[in-house]
Chain A
Amino acid sequence: MTLQDNIEKIVTHPHLSPKQKSNYLALEAENSLPYVAVSEQVNNAMKQGIICDMFEGHAPFKPRYVLPDYAKYLQQGSQYLELSPAEDFDDALNALTILYFHVPSVTNIPVYLGQLDALLMPFTKGLDTDAIYRKLKRFWILLDRTLPDAFMHVNIGPTDNIICRTILRIDAELQQIAPNLTFMYDPAVTPDDLLFQATSNICQCGKPHIANYPLHADAFDTRGFGIVSCYNALPLAGGANTLVRVNLKEVALNANSIDDFFAQTLPYYSQLAFELIEVRSAFLHQQSHFFDSFLVKEQLIDESRFAPMFGIYGMAEAVNILQALLPSAAEVTTTNVASKPNTGYGHNLDANELGLRISAALDNIVKSTPVTYGYNGRALLHSQSGISLDKNVTPGVRIPYGSEPDPISHIQALAEHHQYYTAGISDILTIDETVKANPQAMFQLCKGALSSGFREFSANVANNDLVRVTGYMVKRSDIETFKQCGSRTNTTGLAAEAAINTGIFQRQARVIAHEQAPFIHE
């Protein structure tokens, strides 16, 4: 199709709002430029679907994810935005709302809204519980209605405070898809009853995710970090300049033995991914003038705190493919693996050990490969949760849909991977509805997961109306009506596509994909 055809299709699309059309038009325009210059090998690997730039666009002029230092902003005000420092609670909410409209991301909507309780606590003086509740509730509704994208992410915890408790209460009450919410848990700081409130919320609405605070904090410096979009952990006052991901399934298909995989194919395609990271980040940092922004001048972000994410997915398929190459695996064919619930990745000890070996090798590659624009000169490893167009390949290091063992075995099978994925890893546990009547069980499962080394605990309660189709929340009813009437929320379109491609409604509801794909949904 020609550029004009595409543009016409977007402009005349019956179900897209004018704003959604503008976004797609901008992507078309950017993609009419030639792609940043890459080698023949990178080009081939991209064409074959072995490495992928996440459809970020041909000429990156904004970072993928930006995490401004909102605390600094509230304290100092903004010259550029002509704002004086916030003096009270309303000031603070107003100032935050204003800045949100100036924080870019790959989706054009901010993916990080700040550690809201820490940000707002200094402004609670003189306000009673009820006043705080009413103000925050209005704010929560405003976020959902004006920035309708479930990739935007609020962080709260690990301390116990009135803002944190009130946000949890409101989030359960309103059951909105946006914003996404992460609750930081620190066993040394967070009281059990606060974690219990958070895990009870999961039973009601699938949110929040529970982040293992000490584990994340150790991976970043004292300026801190945030959890953004879906389970991306990134430096505060920085972010991710780009995300390039490697399809481990395809890498494994190119290997002729396990040794070959570790010695040749994995290092080779990793180097190609790094080449792509280099050219994409070079364009952003050197040519786009993004870093001339007031965000940098007013020190809300710092160029040196941006890192590329080195993403991987398809671990399950890679492991099963490699296991089948073993001479001893003559009878454990792929069909065999499929028909037996108790074999293969996620079930078999040898398969799990191989998976872990791959994660360790990736960690080693990422930690030993310098990048020009990185956090301490390095990229950050990320277990990528998939995009709406992925077919027959499992997100990140997850166990394939429908073959997951019980939640505890699931956690035990994957826990050791979590140490390697500094930039986040999303394992979604699907828990059956009986947990709704027993939030204590969710609480205990969460504690167990975090104590076994999970960086993030995310659970999906089957048959909630609010479901995670990817890393974000959508309403089941929204998806079902999307085809008829379009949707107010940008993410519902992606979810609808993900749902159709992966048949989630024949399976348990779960997370499938999360990133904006530059495609129009018919």
Chain B
Amino acid sequence: MSKHAVVSQILPFSCVDGPGSRLVIFLQGCNYQCKNCHNPHTISLCDACGDCIDSCPEQALSLIHSQAMPLPQLRSQEMLLHGDLIPVNHSPSSSQSKPHIVWDSTKCSQCDTCITVCPRQSTPKTSHYSVEQMLEVIYGQRHFINGITLSGGEASLQLPFIIELFSAIKSSEHLSHLSCMLDTNGSLSSTGWHKLLPFLDGAMVDLKAWQQDTHHYITGRDNHSVFTSIELLVQHNKLYEVRLLHIPGITDYEHDIDALGGYLSNLPTETRVKLNAFHHHGVKGIGSTWPQCTQADIARLANQLTQRGVTNIVLPSLYI
């Protein structure tokens, strides 16, 4: 049986996740704990504690105990019309009886009460897809998109699924024209990258801070592997974009502008340096007290980088 992934959302059409029009698959689960995360409920996996069930005003949630994993019935068109997921939720690898949350998307009114009450800051609104099922979804969209992007959470935590999916796309007569991109926090090991590279067209990597300490403060992890990943992708000509999420006074981009500018200006000229502006939408905890980033803040940062020889700077298309 093919690999499965826990999917938190599928976006059929995106203009900001790589070249051209893209289908974006958001995988559930992340190994960072960013204080500025805009989707904190995509960090932890649901452990089926059942706490959210009674809070749902639409009775869209229930708990089941299953032996094997019944695969969701594919109703591809309807699923895509909904712009969300198959209304069935099952855990993978359930060889023995385990409880699972079942989310009925047809009943759900997207009020997000379940997410608010979840003690793990997780969500019951995820679905499991096999590689075949995901291919079917992609097949239905193939005329409208230039490629697919795996995002998260941290997509690379579910690497075997991604490798199988990308390799199937590359070997499919109908899908091989689609580019396969990964949006990542850069924590993947070199071994992991080497397995993925043959099927990968490009990656977007977050560089959340320049200094170790700042990176650790924001994400809970150090940034050594981020630099290693960037280097490796450059070597293989697959670094599409480096992303800087600017939080004035919190990120150290301006403080270390000379070092950062020097580093970025040495990247291949094709690599886009994408500046993103921090805003509060979805942010919980201390991050929601941090200053939001304005258009002027971005302009200042862009200007400083330009002065230091960074050429391929891409500004946000929207400020919230």
Measured CB to CB, the residues of A under 8 A from B are 339-343, 346-349, 352, 405-409, 411-413, 431-438, 440-445, 447-449, 451-452
| Nearest CB of chain A from residue B314's CB, rounded to whole Å | 7
B277 interfacial contact with A, CB 8 Å = no
Q: Is the CB of A438 within 8 A of B80?
A: no
Q: Is the CB of B317 within 8 A of A445?
A: no
Cα A408 to Cα B22 with chains together (Å): 11
Cα A438 to Cα B109 with chains together (Å): 32
Q: Is the CB of B83 within 8 A of A405?
A: yes
Cα A438 to Cα B13 with chains together (Å): 12
A348, A431, A437 — most chain B CB neighbours (10 Å): A437
Q: Is the CB of B317 within 8 A of A434?
A: yes
In the complex, chain A residues whose CB is within 8 Å of the CB of B84: 342
Cα A160 to Cα B80 with chains together (Å): 36
Interface string of B17-43 (1 = CB under 8 A from A): 001111000000000000000000000
Which of A405, A408, A438, A451 is in CB contact (< 8 Å) with B82?
A: A405
B143 interfacial contact with A, CB 8 Å = yes
B62 interfacial contact with A, CB 8 Å = no
Which of A340, A348, A408, A436 is in CB contact (< 8 Å) with B13?
A: A408
| Nearest CB of chain A from residue B311's CB, rounded to whole Å | 17
Q: Is the CB of B314 within 8 A of A437?
A: yes
Q: Is the CB of A412 within 8 A of B81?
A: yes
Q: Is the CB of B143 within 8 A of A406?
A: no
Cα A160 to Cα B54 with chains together (Å): 62
Tell me the chain B residues, 231-245 only, with Cβ under 8 Å from chain A.
none
Cα A348 to Cα B11 with chains together (Å): 18
5 more A-B residue pairs beyond the given contacts A408-B12, A408-B141, A432-B318, with a C-beta to C-beta distance below 8 A? A341-B109, A412-B77, A440-B21, A444-B145, A445-B13
In the complex, chain A residues whose CB is within 8 Å of the CB of B15: 431-432, 434-435, 437-438, 441
Q: Is the CB of A441 within 8 A of B83?
A: no
Which of A349, A406, A434, A447 is in CB contact (< 8 Å) with B78?
A: A349
In the complex, chain A residues whose CB is within 8 Å of the CB of B21: 438, 440-442, 444-445
| Nearest CB of chain A from residue B107's CB, rounded to whole Å | 8
Cα A411 to Cα B146 with chains together (Å): 17
Q: Is the CB of A411 within 8 A of B83?
A: no
B8 interfacial contact with A, CB 8 Å = no
Looking across the interface, which residue of chain A has its beta carbon closest to that of B81? A409
A-B contact list, 29 entries, CB within 8 Å? A340-B109, A342-B106, A342-B108, A347-B81, A349-B75, A349-B77, A349-B78, A352-B81, A406-B11, A408-B145, A409-B12, A409-B81, A409-B82, A411-B144, A412-B81, A433-B317, A434-B14, A434-B15, A435-B15, A436-B317, A437-B314, A438-B15, A438-B20, A440-B146, A441-B146, A444-B144, A444-B146, A445-B13, A445-B21
Q: Given A408-B80, A434-B15: A448 and B144 within 8 A (CB)?
A: yes
Q: Given A340-B109, A432-B15, A434-B318: A348 and B78 within 8 A (CB)?
A: yes
B69 interfacial contact with A, CB 8 Å = no
Cα A441 to Cα B318 with chains together (Å): 17
10 residue pairs, one from A and one from B, having the closest CB atoms: A448-B144, A441-B21, A440-B20, A448-B143, A444-B21, A438-B15, A434-B15, A441-B15, A434-B317, A408-B12
